[in-house]
Structure 1
Amino acid sequence: MVTIGRRGTLGLAAGLAMPAVWARAQGAGASPGIKIGLVAVQTGPAASLGTHLRDGFLLGLKHLDGKLGGLPAEVVQIDDELRPEVAVTKVRAALERDKVDVVAGVVFSNILAAIIRPVTESGTLLISTNAGPSTFAGRGCNPNFFTTSYNNDQVHSVMGQAAQDAGHKRVFVLTPNYQAGRDAVAGFKSRFKGEVVDEVYVPLNQLDFSAELAKIAAAKPDALFTFMPGGLGVNLVRQYRQAGLGNIEFLSTFTVDEATLPAQGDAAVGFYAAATWAPNMDNPQNLRFVRDFEAAYNYVPASYAAQSYDAAMLLDSAVRRVGGKIADKDALRAAVRAADFRSVRGNFKFGANHYPVQDFWLCKVAKRADGKFQTETVRKVLENDTDPYAAECRMR
């Protein structure tokens, strides 16, 4: 079990040893080591998402023998507590006191919005391994900001396309009332051309959906489209089944995934999700990642873990490309942009706005022979997709 301090430095984790003292790096001018500030919510109902993110990054470091590009790596763990003001305070401490070289992680868009300015204005690279709001994909793009996940709209647009392809005419939309929720609706509507019979936004901490489920039952839509991460998704899926609404197709993003499925169980089987990755993807990098992740942590990884693992591999490739000279921020930024690594999801490269260009899949929840649950790819919906805001980015 990894011991987490609120602002502590990770030295040793079970089976994931990190060097306690920097080793001498090779190459003139190379840094003796690299510090990563890893932002992962570890407090409250959303902590399971942060745990996936953290464990994915740590597994990447384990596969790299505790080094990034040959430099010994130290991880300063930052629990943002899903509170923007707390995240800013802790991230500033990591930058000013701990002297981290890169900040990575971040599950939620409101946390990213809070920390992006202090990180990037300090000249430090910020690599989001999950949050990908539209805010920073277009005119708000930033040379020091990258994401290994997606633009929020993209994943939701996949489900809009899937609903369109399925011939659905009437869809009920239900999301949380914050930036990512609004991005979800915009993304879905960008490809779904039928009628949205109702568009309901709920507080980010809501756990009782009885009123919303009554509205869905009364509207009798062809399908529900929802984005409900973490504990919201656990409760919604359970209550949806209990309300007898299983005959209304459940189309979702970040609602039924490996972070929530252990708690949702059989109630989620057959429900759909959209993603850039699923545990059953058949490529050498993913097979090793999933096998070793389950062996190390005894649970099935979610996309939060896969994207974070990719971030570790991305950083390794970038540090190696600059010969360990991470003080040269321009060179390091260019090396990250090159994305010279093998992703667990297959196709991956950065667009002009530092958001990925990649494939997107329709997935479905299945129960494995060992009794565990996972999402599995059904079909590819979008190929080498560039997010819709990239053209507005003036960074070249």
Structure 2
Amino acid sequence: MSLKWTRRSLMNVVAMGAIVASFPAMAQDKPPVTIGLITTLSTPAGYIGEDIRDAFNLALKEEGGKLGGVPVTLKVEDDALKPANGKQIVDKMLGDNIKLYTGINFSNVLMAALPSVLGANAFYVSNNPGPSPFAGEKCNPNYFVASYQNDAFHEAAGLAANELGFKKMVILAPNYQAGRDALEGFKRTYKGEIAGEIYTKLDQTDFSVELARIKSLAPEAIYQFHPGGAGINFAKQYANSGMSTSIPMVIPSFSMDARMIAATGNAADGVYASALWTTETDNSASKAFVEAFRKDYGRDPTIYAAQAYDTAHLIGAGLKAVNGDLSKDGDFRSALRKADFTAIRGNFKMGSNQHPIQDYYLTKFEKNADGKIVQKIVRKVASDYHDAYASKCSMK
């Protein structure tokens, strides 16, 4: 063996060692996963998007900018509650090769944007809306819902109304996908008489005509779904009409969230609601979340915030399973279906249509010992509740 050959061999060994040593550094330099968070940050409903964004950022902060141990970059855009805006933002983000989306808080915006996401073989994990078409025949392997199927929340409200003994009710909702799903869901489980079914405009502010009609129909109670600013106006006008003292109101939590309570004053006192979570939910994960949210943002979290926080951790479970590599789409789907995370609402499983199986509660807004109106849990009305559309989904 010559000295020249030995030196060349040593040089080769050193070079190979340098390459091997660089592998961990190269792995650490892997770019973070970008998540497109599209939500409503302007318009009177903008506070909903703020809670979604802030809760998602809280989950990231608690993990040092990671979800499931994977570095994440959040790209936030405002859809201004316009379906065309939502689709345009998604199309632009897809052009930037973003493969994972969440954040939309209105069904009409999601219905416009979702086909682009799924058509590009990207993933969407819904933190709030669960429109019925995509829970049944249009279900898709890349579409997951971490909140609820739209009808299910209102089906639980129908069960609650039965338990409260209301035999004759008027029901109201805005005339858009979630509003129609709301009233269909309520009618599916409510056993009493529907004295009137009223549809309003999504951006309506004056409900004087509807209130006059309710009075003429003389129901035992009403059920109304109006989220955001419309819900604030409805609750105020209903209380001012004097009917709230004689005709009780049943709602989903979305019609009187924590931010709406502050805006409506005592109008919330005594109102019944269906819920899957409230700030009074009694488990350690929920208590820690509420405390952290209050500390960071100086306000109570809404149901929208709670769902966004759970959504972040569900996504984290998926990212952990593939180490942030979304090209491993089969493994990512499997991990999302397993839903291996601690939901602050408590019981949470994925159904065959990739919508939650979970518990629902009857709650009542009333003052606590400090005189603050909170949403107290009265009792559970549904356990391990499946939505009505899973059987129409071809995925198994």
C-alpha separation in 1, matches of 2:208 and 2:131: 29
Counterpart of 1:94, as a letter, is: M
1:189 aligns with 2:187: yes
1:218 aligns with 2:216: yes
**Residue 25 of structure 1: CA displacement?**
8.3
> Given residue 140 of structure 2, which amino acid in structure 1 is its aligned partner?
N
Deviations 1:175-228 (A, max 9, x none): 101111111111111111211111110110111111111111121110000001
The one-letter code matched in structure 2 to 1:347 is N
User: Counterparts of 1:304 and 1:29 in 2: how far apart (Å)?
Assistant: 34
* C-alpha distance 51-370 of structure 1, shift in aligned 2 (>3 A): farther
Aligned partners of 1:256 and 1:272 also within 8 Å: no
Deviations 1:267-308 (A, max 9, x none): 111111111111111111101100000111111111110110
Describe the SS at the equivalent of 1:334: helix
Instruction: Measure how far apart 1:325 and its partner are.
Output: 2.5
Instruction: Compute the TM-score of the two structures, normalised by the length of structure 2.
Output: 0.90
Partner Cα separation in structure 1 for residue 129 and residue 379 of structure 2: 24
* Cα separation, 1, equivalents of 2:211 and 2:313: 42
Cα contact 1:257–1:374 (8 A) shared by 2:
no
Q: Give, in angstroms, the shift of residue 233 of structure 1.
A: 0.6
The residue that corresponds to 1:339 in the other structure is: 339
Assess if the C-alpha contact under 8 Å between 2:68 and 2:313 holds in 1. no
Distance 1:251 1:387 in 2: 20
1:391 aligns to what SS in structure 2?
helix
Q: What RMSD in Å do the two structures reach over aligned CA positions? A: 1.8
Count of residues in correspondence between the two structures: 372
Distance, in Å, in 2 between the alignment partners of 1:307 and 1:296 is: 17
* Cα distance in 1 between the residues matched to 2:135 and 2:347: 20
**Residue deviations 1:314-365 (CA, integer Å, cap 9, x gap):** 1111111223333212211111111000000010011010100000111111
Distance 1:373 1:59 in 2: 25
Distance 1:220 1:44 in 2: 34
2:149–2:387: 8 Å Cα contact kept in structure 1? yes
Task: Trace 1:110-125 onto structure 2 (pairs within 5 A).
Answer: 110-125=108-123
d(CA) in 2 for partners of 1:219, 1:69: 53
* Change in CA separation of 1:26 and 1:359 when aligned onto 2, cut-off 3 Å: farther
Q: What is the CA–CA distance in structure 2 between the aligned matches of 1:295 and 1:309, rounded to whole Å?
A: 15
Match of 2:176 in 1: 178
Structure 1 residues 31 and 347: CA distance shift in structure 2, 3 A: farther
Cα distance in structure 2, aligned partners of 1:292 and 1:213 = 40
After superposition, where does 1:14-25 map in structure 2 within 5 Å?
none
Distance 1:215 1:374, change over 3 A: same
What is the 5 A alignment of 1:237-276? 237-246=235-244, 247-253=246-252, 254-276=254-276
Match of 1:136 among 129, 134, 159: 134
Residue 296 of structure 2 aligns to a residue whose secondary structure is helix
Is the Cα contact below 8 Å between 2:59 and 2:67 reproduced in 1?
no
Task: Spell out the pairing of 1:195-344 with structure 2 (5 A cutoff).
Answer: 195-246=193-244, 247-253=246-252, 254-344=254-344
Give 2:16's aligned residue: none
Percent identity between matched residues is 42
Equivalent AA in structure 2 for residue 87 of structure 1: G
Match of 1:103 in 2: 101
In the TM superposition, residue 106 of structure 1 has moved relative to its aligned partner by 1.0
Q: Please state whether the residue corresponding to 2:319 is helix, strand or coil.
A: helix
The equivalent residue for 1:17 is none
CA distance in 1, matches of 2:268, 2:242: 13
Q: Is the 8 A contact 1:32 1:71 kept in 2?
A: no
Question: CA contact under 8 A between 2:77 and 2:89: conserved in structure 1?
Answer: yes
342-351 or 268-277, larger mean C-alpha shift: 268-277
Contact 1:39 / 1:80 at 8 angstroms: preserved in 2? yes
Give runs of aligned pairs for residues 157-172 of structure 1, distance below 5 A.
157-172=155-170
Change in Cα spacing, 1:145 to 1:29, as seen in structure 2 (3 Å) is farther
SS at match of 1:259: helix
Equivalent residue of 2:258, what SS?
coil
Structure 1 CA distance for aligned equivalents of residues 290 and 144 of structure 2: 24
Q: What displacement does 1:259 show?
A: 3.3
Number of the residue aligned with 2:388: 388
Change over 3 Å in CA distance of 1:31–1:367 after alignment to 2: farther
Rounded Cα–Cα distance in structure 1 between residues aligned with 2:344 and 2:25: 29
TM-score of the two chains, using structure 1 as the length reference: 0.90
d(CA) in 1 for partners of 2:319, 2:326: 7
Counterpart of 2:113 in structure 1: which amino acid?
Answer: I
Paired residue secondary structure (1:285): helix
Work out whether residues 27 and 324 of structure 1, in 8 Å CA contact, stay in contact via their aligned partners in 2.
no
The one-letter code sitting in structure 2 at the alignment partner of 1:275 is: A
Greater helix content: 2
Residues 125 and 315 in structure 2, CA contact (< 8 A), matched pair in contact too: no
Question: Which 5+ residue runs of structure 1 have no aligned equivalent?
Answer: 1-23
